[in-house]
A and B are shown apart, each in its own frame.
Chain A
Amino acid sequence: MLFDKLNLLFLATVAASVAYCLAVPGAFFVQVILWATLAATLGAGIRFVMLVGELNIGTSAFYGIGGYTAAYLTTAYGLPFGVALVAAGIAGGLVAAVFGYATMRTSGAYFMLISFAFAEIFRMLVVESDFLGGNNGIIGLFVSVEYEPYFAATVVAILATLISALAVIENSSLGKSFIAIREREEIARSVGINVLAIRVLCLVISSVVIAVAGACSGFITHLVTPNDYTFMIAVFALAYVKLGGEEHPTGPILGAILLTLAAQYLISFGAYQQVFFGTVIAVAMILLPQGITGRLRDLVRLTAKRTARDAG
């Protein structure tokens, strides 16, 4: 009931953002919308792997794979934006399949650690690769001039569609299989689920979406560097999920919007921004273990119970 309203709120927010981006394409707030959209996609993507019970710190690497694939293809071969996005998604998915095949046999702490290592290794690989510009990265991701006014609106629309697709999959029988694996792997196996394959599939789907978002991030800043894709990306993504609440797909979106807006305000704090984010994460974990949406749901239930009791 509450969650249905949250879904509507999500659609309304997306529609309003797209409209705003089309109406005033050059406005500063369009940038904020874009950042929030990227953040929301990261949150939704990392939460998707949490459906099978894993924390994928490697999310930042898949974001980077998307960014670098798009950057390389557009600068070296002059491919257009749309093709770059598709290629980024494919690259993210392929790497996720290989990485997942090796690592999704582990779970819990082991997966978390190896995915963290993967995030760091990705960064090191990029720094060591001359054709990817090493520490300087790659500059020059642009969309064509006549397309520029529609760019922001397109990005919001594409990523919102992908976020919705993740939610649709979550509600499908495939999504229930993910959750079944998290709930009790033995039962999932005993009813014919090839647990490794399904877990890898979950990682692949998430990584495709994350990589497309990474490609978009490159086009937004026109530049990709190793420092744009450190494991901090995954940390922030987790912060969106934890603050917003992980139970419902709109949770990380809410968290992403709130923290992106807060970050805009906090830019004036300079270096203390990091401290602020750290504090938000730590304090949210203590005070809001279920996140904002979880807290809201509890409140709604409580009120409903009270009204029922007062009436009866």
Chain B
Amino acid sequence: MSTFIQLLINTLQIGAIYVLFSLGLTLVFGVMRLINFAHGEFFALTAILIAMQMGWLLPDAPFWLQYVVSFATALGVLMALSVVIYQFGLSRFLGDLSSGFIFSLGLVLMMRGLIGQIFGNYPMTAPPLVEGAIYVLGGAISTQKLLVAVLALIATGGLLYLVFRTKLGMALRAIAEDQEAAMLQGIRYKRLALYGFLIGSSLAAIAGGLIAPLQVVLPTMGGELIMKAFMIVIIGGLGSIPGAIVASFLIAALESFGSYFIDLPVVTIGVFVMVAVLLVIRPQGLLGHVVR
């Protein structure tokens, strides 16, 4: 029973991170009709920036304050970077899937190379925010994991509010619904697409920031996560917000329960086979519409 609870909490925590990350990816796709491969690098870079700053930026402050401050500066850096990438690059490829993807692959190479050169290609760690564990139904749960899961769920809630309850969100959804009509709006579309891109990128960054105190921070972690996110958006349907949420928790559950009973790589391979079979039956994903 306690194992089950632990695995469940694990699912919740991993799933919450997946949700944030893949919602960002799917949102950017919905608004810009392109897949930003550098999404994973945004995630990794934020985590690296936080791990690097902690213990150095405000060495005498408590950990949580250090964390908050480094998180904020890292997010700021990422937003500035996103604006530059959008203005000089991605905005030229709106609606052009293949060119946009290849351009973002170029970005990935640049960023990976530069991150390696500047920060080194070795693992980093951020100190834990809170110590200890909580006991629920006989299972011990790391307080830290629970905290991260809760923060990620709050961030997800914020995004859902933004997308479904605000004017900006409504405009973004309108674009995602009818890309061609949106394109005709010219400048207004380009500005809205920028907002969509910034929101999407910041979700990757927030996910990266939340993961930083939980695990060893590696420059390659963005690449690993983005492959999972690809599976998630295929299962959930590209551009679908509910699809991304459901699929994220599905994959997270398969991983945390699967890796307890079998090997994690076996699970990942199994998920791929499952997705391939799904595509034979439903080429547009579990919850998606046909997108071309």
A99 CA / B110 CA spacing, docked (Å): 31
Of the candidate stretches A140-148, A152-160, A252-260, A277-285, the one touching chain B is A277-285
- Residue-by-residue, is B159-172 near A (CB-CB < 8 Å gives 1, otherwise 0)? 00000000000000
Q: Which of A50, A106, A274 contacts B283 (CB 8 A)?
A: A106
Taking a contact as CB atoms under 8 Å apart, the answer to whether B92 and A286 are in contact is yes
Of the candidate stretches B62-70, B96-104, B133-141, B197-205, the one touching chain A is B96-104
What is the minimal beta-carbon distance from B239 to any residue of chain A, in angstroms? 9
Q: Check B158 for interface membership: any CB of A closer than 8 A.
A: no
What is the minimal beta-carbon distance from B157 to any residue of chain A, in angstroms? 27
Per DSSP, chain B at the interface is: helix
Taking a contact as CB atoms under 8 Å apart, the answer to whether A275 and B227 are in contact is no
Which has the most chain B C-beta neighbours within 10 Å: A103, A113, A114, A280?
Answer: A113
Given contacts A109-B238, A282-B103, A282-B107, contact A275 B89 (CB under 8 A): no
Taking a contact as CB atoms under 8 Å apart, the answer to whether B113 and A272 are in contact is yes
Q: Check B181 for interface membership: any CB of A closer than 8 A.
A: no
Given contacts A120-B227, A285-B93, contact A278 B279 (CB under 8 A): no
Residues of B close to A124: CB separation below 8 A: 265, 268-269
What is the minimal beta-carbon distance from A111 to any residue of chain B, in angstroms? 9
Residues of B close to A289: CB separation below 8 A: 99
Q: Check B260 for interface membership: any CB of A closer than 8 A.
A: no
Beta-carbon contacts under 8 Å, A77-135 to B: 99, 101-103, 105-110, 112-114, 116-118, 120-121, 124-125, 127-128
Given contacts A102-B276, A279-B110, contact A285 B102 (CB under 8 A): yes
Q: Which of A105, A120, A282 contacts B106 (CB 8 A)?
A: A282
Q: Check A271 for interface membership: any CB of B closer than 8 A.
A: yes
Residues of B close to A238: CB separation below 8 A: 102, 105
A98 CA / B131 CA spacing, docked (Å): 50
* Range of interface residues on B (Cβ < 8 Å): 35 or more
Residues of A close to B276: CB separation below 8 A: 99, 102-103, 114
Taking a contact as CB atoms under 8 Å apart, the answer to whether B89 and A102 are in contact is no
Residues of A close to B227: CB separation below 8 A: 116-117, 120
A106 CA / B272 CA spacing, docked (Å): 15
Which has the most chain B C-beta neighbours within 10 Å: A275, A277, A281, A282?
Answer: A282
**Of all chain A residues, which has the CB nearest B29?**
A109
Residues of B close to A285: CB separation below 8 A: 89, 92-93, 99, 102-103, 106
What is the minimal beta-carbon distance from B168 to any residue of chain A, in angstroms? 24
Taking a contact as CB atoms under 8 Å apart, the answer to whether B265 and A127 are in contact is yes
Tally of contact residues, A, Cβ under 8 A:
43
What is the minimal beta-carbon distance from B274 to any residue of chain A, in angstroms? 11
Given contacts A121-B272, A274-B113, contact A281 B97 (CB under 8 A): no
Taking a contact as CB atoms under 8 Å apart, the answer to whether A279 and B106 are in contact is yes
Taking a contact as CB atoms under 8 Å apart, the answer to whether A116 and B230 are in contact is yes
Taking a contact as CB atoms under 8 Å apart, the answer to whether A109 and B109 are in contact is no
Taking a contact as CB atoms under 8 Å apart, the answer to whether A113 and B265 are in contact is no
What is the minimal beta-carbon distance from A106 to any residue of chain B, in angstroms? 4
Given contacts A114-B279, A128-B265, contact A275 B97 (CB under 8 A): no
Residues of B close to A99: CB separation below 8 A: 276
Taking a contact as CB atoms under 8 Å apart, the answer to whether A272 and B117 are in contact is yes
Taking a contact as CB atoms under 8 Å apart, the answer to whether A278 and B108 are in contact is yes
Residues of B close to A282: CB separation below 8 A: 89, 103, 106-107, 110
Q: Check A55 for interface membership: any CB of B closer than 8 A.
A: yes
A272 CA / B114 CA spacing, docked (Å): 8
Residues of A close to B279: CB separation below 8 A: 102-103, 105-106, 110, 114
Beta-carbon contacts under 8 Å, B254-284 to A: 263, 265-266, 268-269, 272, 275-277, 279-280, 283-284
A119 CA / B154 CA spacing, docked (Å): 34
Q: Check B16 for interface membership: any CB of A closer than 8 A.
A: no
Q: Check A210 for interface membership: any CB of B closer than 8 A.
A: no
Residues of B close to A272: CB separation below 8 A: 113, 117
- Residue-by-residue, is B226-252 near A (CB-CB < 8 Å gives 1, otherwise 0)? 010011011000100000000000000
Given contacts A102-B277, A285-B93, A289-B99, contact A280 B233 (CB under 8 A): no
- Residue-by-residue, is A201-245 near B (CB-CB < 8 Å gives 1, otherwise 0)? 000000000000000000000000000000000010011001000
Residues of B close to A50: CB separation below 8 A: 98
A128 CA / B283 CA spacing, docked (Å): 29
Residues of A close to B101: CB separation below 8 A: 55, 112
What is the minimal beta-carbon distance from A109 to any residue of chain B, in angstroms? 5
Taking a contact as CB atoms under 8 Å apart, the answer to whether B35 and A109 are in contact is yes
Sorted from nearest, which 5 A-B pairs have the closest CB atoms?
A: A278-B109, A281-B106, A282-B106, A278-B110, A275-B113
Mark A residues whose CB is within 8 Å of B: 50, 55, 99, 101-103, 105-110, 112-114, 116-118, 120-121, 124-125, 127-128, 235, 238-239, 242, 271-275, 277-283, 285-286, 289
**What are 12 residue pairs bridging A and B, where the CB atoms are less than 8 Å apart in the complex?**
A50-B98, A101-B280, A102-B280, A105-B279, A110-B285, A113-B35, A113-B234, A114-B279, A124-B268, A274-B109, A274-B116, A283-B106
